[in-house]
Amino acid sequence: MSDDLKGLRRELLAGVSAASDLAGLEQVRVDVLGRKGRITDLMKGLGALAPEARREQGQALNRLKDEVAGAIEGRKAELGRAELDRRLASERIDVTLPVRPETEGRIHPVSQTIDELVAIFGAMGFSVAEGPDIEDDWYNFGALNIPPEHPARQEMDTFYLDTEVDGRRPVLRTHTSPVQIRTMQNVKPPIRIIAPGRTYRSDSDATHSPMFHQVEGLAIGEKIHMGHLKGCLIEFCRAFFDVADLPVRFRASYFPFVEPGAEVDIGCSRAGGELKIGAGGDWLEILGCGMVHPKVLANCGIDPERWQGFAFGMGIERIAMLKYGIPDLRTFYESDMRWLRHYGFAPLDVPSLTGGLAR
């Protein structure tokens, strides 16, 4: 190698090691090996040399080119590693730091209770169905075997809308039972659904609100009988209130859309003026249920000779008040932040059978 080339080699390699970042290194590469780079220029001059000298100089230039290219690659890897180290150092996370303070928002007890219902009945194979809040008279009453003269239809209980649709005034549904009808019309049995949602009745005091929530349940099959109804609801009550031996009582009752019909009471004690769920000699009514009336099945085009099933309905605020000791129904709708902070649930407190349904 000529002294000229030796000098050039030293200069170029020094330039490579001096590059302090990837952009600078790229500039060095362009200056040396690019189309107008130093080595490229020298290569272009080879043609003017005599054949012997051209071969020698050509080989020397090629070696120099390879060496510089290799040095650039090496430097590139080095700079890449340094860049990574720098990022690792600057983006370091101390996983031992305390967690951020809890978020402000709370889950409303009605939402939490619906999630609990879904977890319990979901594990029993029920899926969630929905229906409209504004209902046709037939879905809310007629199809459910509630005759026109039934007191529930009277203006004092039912909110009727001020317009007419097909000659009838729509109603705000007074219970979630119309979802039974809509489901049976649209789904081929067997059926297993629950339907949580808003319901409306013209009534307002410490235990009644013009808008409240219910959950409906419906199971239709070829061999479903009262034993299934009882087993399902006893299991539900014990899981929901988290009392393994909770007394549950079925008391004969009347609803036009079931036969036989029953109301379900759970055991409680009122000793010392304090209500406690569990054994104690007293009873609390929590829901209505029964075997779906054959007329209701027929109204939905389901053959009552072949299919039967059970249905139930309960007030969501009511069971939430009992479980969480909330004394006044009206407070549910006041959007009082202090109330929500007290009775609400942490957003990550998602109820599940395995993780726990109570707080």
Binding residues (CB under 6 A) for ligand PHE: these are 175, 177, 255, 258, 261, 288-290, 311-313
Least gap, CB of 292 to ligand PHE (angstroms): 8
Least gap, CB of 285 to ligand PHE (angstroms): 11
Q: Considering only CA atoms, which of 335, 333, 324 is closest in space to residue 112?
A: 324
Q: Considering only CA atoms, which of 251, 246, 252, 315 is closest in space to residue 278?
A: 246
Distance, CA of 327 to CA of 324 (rounded, Å): 9
Residue-by-residue DSSP string for 127-139: EE----SEE-HHH
Least gap, CB of 283 to ligand PHE (angstroms): 18
Question: In Å, what is the CA distance from 358 to each residue of 179, 240, 354?
Answer: 28, 8, 11
Nearer to ligand PHE, 131 or 288 (CB): 288
Question: Which residue's CB comes closest to ligand PHE?
Answer: 313
Nearer to ligand PHE, 253 or 269 (CB): 253
Burial 283-322, CB ≥16 within 10 A → b, else e: ebebbbbbbbbbebbebbebeeeebbbbbbbbbbbbbbbb
Least gap, CB of 256 to ligand PHE (angstroms): 9
- Contact status, residue 121 vs residue 219, Cβ threshold 8 Å: no
Distance, CA of 297 to CA of 80 (rounded, Å): 73
Nearer to ligand PHE, 261 or 351 (CB): 261
Nearer to ligand PHE, 307 or 345 (CB): 307
Amino acid identity of residue 289, one-letter, is: C
Least gap, CB of 351 to ligand PHE (angstroms): 23
Nearer to ligand PHE, 57 or 174 (CB): 174
Nearer to ligand PHE, 258 or 300 (CB): 258
Least gap, CB of 255 to ligand PHE (angstroms): 4
Q: How far apart are the first and last CA of the chain?
A: 83
